[in-house]
Chain A
Amino acid sequence: GAVVSQHPSWVICKSGTSVKIECRSLDFQATTMFWYRQFPKQSLMLMATSNEGSKATYEQGVEKDKFLINHASLTLSTLTVTSAHPEDSSFYICSRRETTDTQYFGPGTRLTVL
């Protein structure tokens, strides 16, 4: 069964608004979770590493003030896309890593910005 959940599964918003996506680890206390973005017919690109109780680590080229990550508990990480624009439309997927290095992915959130 699924070990990582995401909410919402899809969202449509107007340009300039902010959208929050939740990622939950259902059966494992995850000190580290990851956020990826996937454009149509492309691979997964890591955006940031979410660390429980501390600041997220962002990949080069990802604006930390635009993509706000909060990892306030061992089972929940949130990604907020601030002032969303049409080019932010994408499939956002979170994952968590086990001690064995295996990563399990959430079901993804499809964001469409009009």
Chain B
Amino acid sequence: GENVEQHPSTLSVQEGDSAVIKCTYSDSASNYFPWYKQELGKRPQLIIDIRSNVGEKKDQRIAVTLNKTAKHFSLHITETQPEDSAVYFCAVLKAAGNKLTFGGGTRVLVKP
């Protein structure tokens, strides 16, 4: 089955700095890569996603890059704000499959 590794597990940044989280996956047939943000006790919220036919996608301060050859993708948050503090999960969906496999999560703390 699919194996998704996410690093780092915790990330502390100063407000205004950038944060980068990386995920690697094992199945080259995977074709959909979403990122979720989860605040304590709440549901995971989709913040950005990318498909395997695209190398980069940006939405305001958030961007995702995908390297299919190396089988890794990264979340980039620029100009971080305290409200960006949360746990972020990457996930991977295999083509023709139904199931998302999640990374272990990254706890991001943005210090004012």
Interface residues of A (CB under 8 A from B): 32, 34, 42-46, 49, 91, 93, 97, 101-108, 110
Contact = CB atoms under 8 A, between A and B. Distances in A.
A101 B99 contact: no
A44 B88 CA distance: 11
A34 B101 CA distance: 12
Interface string B69-110: 000000000000000000001000100001111111100000
A49 B99 contact: yes
A43 B104 contact: yes
Contacts of B93: 101
Interface of chain B: mostly helix, strand, loop or mixed: strand
Contacts of A107: 42-43
A70 to B, nearest CB: 18
A101 B42 CA distance: 22
Contacts of A103: 34, 46, 100
Interface of chain A: mostly helix, strand, loop or mixed: strand
A104 B101 CA distance: 14
A93 B44 contact: yes
Given A49-B98, A107-B43, 18 more contacts: A43-B89, A43-B103, A45-B102, A46-B100, A46-B101, A93-B43, A93-B44, A102-B46, A102-B49, A103-B34, A103-B46, A103-B100, A105-B36, A105-B43, A105-B45, A108-B42, A108-B43, A110-B41
Given A43-B103, A43-B104, A105 B98 contact: no
Contacts of B43: 93, 105-108
A105 B34 CA distance: 13
B99 A46 contact: yes
B20 to A, nearest CB: 19
B82 to A, nearest CB: 21
A10 B21 CA distance: 31
